[in-house]
Structure 1
Amino acid sequence: MKTRAVRLYGKKDLRLEEFELPAIKDDEILAKVVSDSLCMSSYKASSQGADHKRIPDNVAEYPIIIGHEFSGELLEVGSKWADKFKAGDKFSIQPALYYENGPVGILSAPGYSYPYIGGDATYVIIPNEVMEQDCLLVYHGEGYYPASLSEPLSCVIGAMHANYHTTPGSYQHKMEIVDGGKMAILAGVGPMGLAAINFVLRREEVKPSLLVVTDIDQSRLDRAASIYTVEFAASRGIDLKYVNTGKMENPVEELKAISGGTGFDDVFVFAPVRPVVEQGDAILAFDGCLNFFAGPDNPNFSAMLNFYNVHYAYTHIVGTSGGNKDDMVEALEIMSKGLDPAGLVTHIGGLNAVAEATNNLPHIPGGKKLIYTHVEMPLTPISDFAKLGETDGFFRVLAEICDRHNGLWSVEAETYLLSNHPSLQKR
């Protein structure tokens, strides 16, 4: 079977190509990819090429398919896995394969390390090790984009689980955020910050009583507040506050005041910016945990940390990069109970838009860029649909659908796109 895919050959060298997939082996699965969400990690992979820890050294000769936040449908299941999966199953994949003897070591992952599997492709071959690690997950929900976004959601779920707290006199760490505690999400209205807000508000167990979300972009704060409202948070027992620290004379003191003077039990930093990291450290409560979620490009990135408080106030720091299989299962489960990740998505595009968008991702405003791999479509902001609809009937209907969903993407919008996009009608 032929596939079209965006392949990485070296630093910033992404190419959309068509090539033949080999016949699957008994321990492999052939799958159709429907949607993929572009991730900043793919930008980093493209920028670093073979210097990236997950990219094979021989990528110039044996290119890999990029994209790791994807969903689709299984087409052909090898005999080894026929008792667990079947053709027609919808799927998502946890790309972090924690195993010891893979083709490029413990860090190998779909979307970084393999020639025949990645999210930015029309068809892929899922290798045996994905199933061996239980990282191929059947998705039972509606649509496809929620399954794509289950991967980034799993990352913030993992971050919540990775925080820890202590009891003076004991050496047992209590994993998780403080239930009923005070939480701050700094630089928190980008795509991953929005995912964290969404998850915190939807959790049934272990949630803060106070959630403060900061940023310096008022328009992004306003958008977040319109999607994840203070009123809804209150109905969940959470006092949610959106704060523009750019308008504060002394952000540390004013944030502490919002906490009631105690500081915050759990602080999540969603931007690799030194002043933000140091602000997070400064607002920690006694036994507070700072989670540095944002992965920096610069391997020498550093910030000041108050070691007096480390010693006397029991403050501590963790860093998380991605979730695991259990986090992914939890993401899919909470989606089945009503969590819709559509608020993360601001742009829609086709496979033809992937290379340029990935290589310029930090410079494209907005949230998640959602790709439909069988569609030919420029990367287009959802906010532009109405204007485009003035002269294009397809976008007019798509804009009307999004308007019915508070300006957000939806399963209804996805279904319409996959049934009516002009590029599909030409085939």
Structure 2
Amino acid sequence: MDYVSAVGDLLDDYRKAAGPLPQQHSLWRLTGPGLSDLEPPAAEPLPVPGADELLVRHDAVSLCASDAKIARLGLDHPRVRRFPVVPGHEVSLTVAAVGPRLRDAYAPGDRFVVQADMTVGGVARAYGYDLPGGLAQYAVLGAEALAYLVPVRSGTGYAEAALAEPWACVEAAYAASYRSTWQAGGTVWLTGDGAGADLGAAAGWRPDRVHLDVRDDIFAERVRAWAHASGVEVVAGPPQAAVDDAVVLGPDPDRVERALAALAPHGTCALVTVAPLPRPVRVDVGRLHYDGLALMGTAHQDLSAAYTPIRTELAPGGRLWLLGAGGPMGRMHLRRALQRDGAPASIIASDRSGRSANTFGGFTPPTVTFLSERECGDAETLAKRLNEATGGLGFDDVVVAAPSARAVEAAFEHLADGGVINLFAGLPPGTLCAWDVTAVAHRGVRAVGTSGSSVADLRRARDRIEAGVLQPNRSVAAVAGLDGAPEALRAVAENRFGGKVLIFPNLSRPLPLTPLAELAGVLPGVAARLERGHWTVAAEEELLRALI
């Protein structure tokens, strides 16, 4: 057998997960907060699947800013419960061995991508956070995790499959849903003035309990009469525990801040005020993102008018400002905005360095204006440029793909009437931004934020990739083996690349972190199979032929 045939057979065996399994495998652990003393991968005995478990091989892992955030925040990260952590939640994997009771449903060689957010043992868990993730050659998945595997075709590239997860997160950012009523069977806090207020359609909603904390006796008596007729418990005074819904009656910033702090996950805070607030409100934008809180409002006395449905999709034909457009996720948002039906009529794509201008290889779509915040020099000049771009009307949509509290605070001021700010980049809970939330009540401004995605989102992303609608390989900026993971994580933390870094954990020979632009000097055969500098399935196959 000649060399080419032997290598071809090796690649075919790799794809099918054929041949003997190794006795050991390598994995990379983050042992604690910080990026200064990252250790190389460690070797451990290969895990053995139980009767209801799968042994899976991680073929490709796309590193995410959240992986670097684990190192930066440590146990302050909302999804990290303990160290060490095996990071990596954007994963493409292959079944390597099947427990006896699963052999009718799974076989070695079956390929999947992983939905990172799981419920295991009735507890919310996350792959690559508090569950071991993709920066390991192999892992065992228990029965409860199997529902979070989404199958992919055998011909789909490992890298493009791994990139289905971040694309799913992008899609999920525009598919969030918020309640337009109080939580049925939940707890409501009515607080503030109450003079002239009316329940309106809320009289038909049925929480279990209302905490009545208003100054106006007439409104308070109306609430008590409604509650008595509806079988709703009334408790005088503010709540001592988290509430599902809080309604602030009147222009009281202190009460708005207390109401937002009192919300349970997926809670709503409605501001009902005819008068403007005397000062900005400190809003925990980290909780808006991670806990899915809704901040809504109305200038009408009918408090139910605050609960109009919140738009989460981009306004067709509208004006979009995309912050952090030069990063890998920002570029995905930009491509999505341009590709969707009813695309924005104008887009400002900004980042600190101006790197977003290279998103399309020098070609600028006619609806897009690239803007370097650094070249603007100061906030006043940037604001002037943005006002000129919209004729002073503001933006219908602002998408924040850069984790900057300063950017979030400034962006809120540029929303048009009815505008929506999408907090895609997660800032830590406890991150406060000063917003003039009078705009929420008087101009219909809204804020939305999502973290992660669902299995349904991941399936949709996979389908679009396999149909050729999305080309995720264009997002790849650099590649490495598992040995290059520490340096790759530093690169992500330092925002060195405008695209994604892909780790291939099962290479048998070292591959340090290598930008695609430098592949010709390291692996010329792989570089020859790039397409105009972009990663391809053919380049990936050549990489595996050379290094497995």
Alpha carbons of 1:83 and 1:172: their partners in 2 closer, same or farther (altered >3 Å)?
farther
Question: Corresponding residue for 1:213?
Answer: 349
Partner of 1:34: 59
2:152 corresponds in structure 1 to: 139
CA–CA distance in 2 between the matches of 1:184 and 1:85?
Answer: 45
Q: CA deviation at 1:372?
A: 0.8
The structure-2 alpha-carbon separation of the partners of 1:163 and 1:291, relative to structure 1 and needing over 3 Å to count, comes to farther
Question: What letter is aligned with 1:286?
Answer: D
Q: Report deviation, 1:64.
A: 4.0
Q: Percent identity?
A: 30
1:171 is aligned, of 302, 307, 314, to 307
> Given that residues 212 and 241 in structure 1 are in contact (C-alpha distance below 8 angstroms), is that contact kept between their aligned partners in structure 2?
yes
Give the match for residue 194 of structure 1. Answer: 331
Asked if 1:343 corresponds to 2:343, the answer is no
Amino acid at match of 1:420: A
Check the 8 A contact 1:252/1:282 in 2, yes or no.
no
- The Cα shift of 1:197 comes to 1.6
Partner of 1:70: 91
**Which structure 2 residues correspond to residues 324-403 of structure 1 after superposition, within 5 A?**
324-338=454-468, 339-359=470-490, 361-363=492-494, 365-366=496-497, 367-375=499-507, 376-386=510-520, 388=521, 395-402=523-530
Among 123, 127, 132, the alignment partner of 2:142 is: 127
Structure 2 segments unaligned to the other structure (5+ residues): 1-22, 181-295, 299-304
Alignment partners' CA distance in 1, 2:337 and 2:89: 24
Quote how far apart the aligned CAs of 1:162 are. 2.7
Q: Quote the residue 2:27 is aligned against.
A: 5
Amino acid at match of 2:161: A
**How big is the shift at 1:209?**
3.1
2:53/2:98 contact within 8 Å kept: yes
2: distance between equivalents of 1:320 and 1:374? Answer: 32
Contact 2:326-2:357 within 8 A present in 1 as well: no
CA contact (8 A) 1:47 1:359 kept: no
Question: Max radius of gyration: which structure?
Answer: 2
Equivalent residues of 1:163, 1:291 under 8 A apart: no
Change (3 A) 1:202 1:29: farther
1:95 aligns with 2:116: yes
CA distance in 2 between counterparts of 1:32 and 1:100 reads 21
Q: After superposition, where does 1:259-298 map in structure 2 within 5 Å?
A: 259-296=390-427
Quickly say closer, same or farther: Cα 1:313–1:80, change in 2 above 3 A.
Answer: farther
Shift of 1:185: 0.8
In the TM superposition, what is the alpha-carbon distance from 1:253 to its structure 2 partner?
3.7
Shift of the 85–175 alpha-carbon distance from structure 1 to 2, 3 Å rule, reads: farther
The answer to whether the 8 Å contact 1:3/1:124 transfers is no
| Alignment of 1:314 onto 2:339 | no
* Distance (whole Å) between structure 2 residues aligned to residue 80 and residue 211 of structure 1: 53
Q: CA deviation at 1:129?
A: 2.0
Give the 3-state SS of the residue equivalent to 1:320 in structure 2.
coil
Q: Matched residues in 1 for 2:106 and 2:334: separation? A: 33
Tell me the secondary structure at the aligned position of residue 50 of structure 2: coil
Question: Which AA in structure 1 matches 2:514?
Answer: T
TM-score (norm 1): 0.83
Contact 2:480 2:512 in 1 (8 A): yes
What are the superposed Cα offsets for residues 229-256 of structure 1, whole Å, 9 maximum, x if unpaired? 544xx6xxxx233223444463234323
CA distance in 1, matches of 2:518, 2:40: 27
Cα 1:301–1:223 shift into 2, 3 Å: same
SS of corresponding position for 2:460: helix
SS in 2 for 1:226: coil
Cα distance, 1:163 vs structure 2: 7.7
Distance between the aligned counterparts of 1:138 and 1:330, measured in 2?
12
* CA shift for structure 1 position 289: 0.9
**Aligned partners of 1:398 and 1:369: how far apart in 2?**
16
How far residue 82 of structure 1 moved from its aligned partner, in angstroms, is 4.2
Equivalent residue of 1:354, what SS? helix
Mapped to 1, the partners of 2:110 and 2:334 lie a distance apart of 30
Of the candidates 536, 541, 544, which is equivalent to residue 410 of structure 1? 536
Say if 1:274 and 1:23 are closer, same or farther in 2 by CA, change over 3 A.
closer
1:242 is paired with a residue whose SS is strand
Larger mean Cα displacement after TM superposition, 7-16 or 67-76: 7-16
Partner residue in 1 for 2:206: none
Amino acid at match of 2:92: S
| Offset at residue 56 of structure 1 (A) | 3.6
What residue is the counterpart of 2:432 in the other structure? 302
Q: Distance in 2 between matches of 1:379 and 1:88?
A: 28
Assess, with a 3 A threshold, how the Cα gap between structure 1 residues 89 and 199 changes in structure 2: closer, same or farther: farther
Secondary structure class of the residue paired with 2:458: helix
Q: Given that residues 161 and 175 in structure 1 are in contact (C-alpha distance below 8 angstroms), is that contact kept between their aligned partners in structure 2? A: no
Question: Is structure 2 residue 383 aligned with structure 1 residue 252?
Answer: yes
C-alpha distance after superposition, 1:345-393 (max 9, x if no partner): 211111001124325532251132111112221101112223x2xxx5x
Residue 101 to residue 31, structure 1, CA distance change in 2 (3 Å): closer
Q: Match of 1:208, as an amino acid?
A: P
1:110 match: 127
Q: Which residue of 1 aligns with 2:301?
A: none
Amino acid at match of 1:135: Y
What amino acid does structure 2 have at the position aligned with 1:354? A
For 1:64 and 1:93, the matched residues in 2 are separated by 17
Task: Letter of the 2:480 partner, please give it.
Answer: G
Distance 1:66 1:334 in 2: 26
